[in-house]
């Protein structure tokens, strides 16, 4: 009888421990995997371009503000692809033409943040 109770106590201790372990693992696998199909331009901008083009391109930083650019698409494409000596790195090898087109679309769609 006593032994039986001990077994149950042991069992529930083991179960409890394994449940506690399962928690964080489950939480991890629940986070969405990065979507490699579509380029998340906003994310990319924050990471790759945000160092110089502040607030997702809405404000000037080391580089100019991109929102409301008066430049045409060819100029923007050319600048992103080839950069500018001593000012901006070239991203020709880093992104495909289609991805660069997406960035231009993103720049054109930029609006001031609400609030």
Interface positions with ligand HEC (CB under 6 A): 48-49, 51-53, 62-64, 66, 69, 71, 76, 79-80, 84, 87-89, 91, 103
**Minimum distance of ligand HEC from residue 35's CB (angstroms):** 18
**Minimum distance of ligand HEC from residue 17's CB (angstroms):** 47
Q: Which is nearer to ligand HEC, 84 or 105 (CB)?
A: 84
Q: Which is nearer to ligand HEC, 28 or 85 (CB)?
A: 85
DSSP readout, the chain?
-HHHHHHHHHHHHHHHHHHHHHHHHHHHHHSPPP-SSS--HHHHIIIIITTTEEGGGTEESSS---TT--S-HHHHHHHHHH-BTTTB---TTTS-HHHHHHHHHHHHH--PPP-
d(CA 17, CA 88): 53
Q: Which is nearer to ligand HEC, 1 or 99 (CB)?
A: 99
**Minimum distance of ligand HEC from residue 102's CB (angstroms):** 10
d(CA 72, CA 74): 6
Q: Which is nearer to ligand HEC, 16 or 112 (CB)?
A: 112
**Minimum distance of ligand HEC from residue 31's CB (angstroms):** 25
């Amino acid at each position: 009888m006593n032994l039986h109770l001990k077994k149950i106590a042991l069992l529930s201790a083991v179960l409890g421990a394994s449940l506690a372990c399962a928690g964080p693992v489950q939480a991890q696998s629940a986070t969405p995997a990065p979507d490699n199909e579509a380029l998340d331009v906003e994310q990319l901008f924050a990471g790759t371009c945000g160092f110089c083009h502040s607030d997702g391109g809405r404000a000037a930083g080391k580089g100019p503000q991109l929102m409301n650019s008066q430049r045409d698409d060819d100029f923007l494409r050319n600048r992103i692809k080839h950069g500018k000596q001593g000012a901006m790195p070239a991203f020709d090898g880093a992104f495909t033409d289609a991805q660069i087109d997406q960035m231009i679309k993103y720049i054109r769609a930029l609006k001031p943040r609400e609030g």
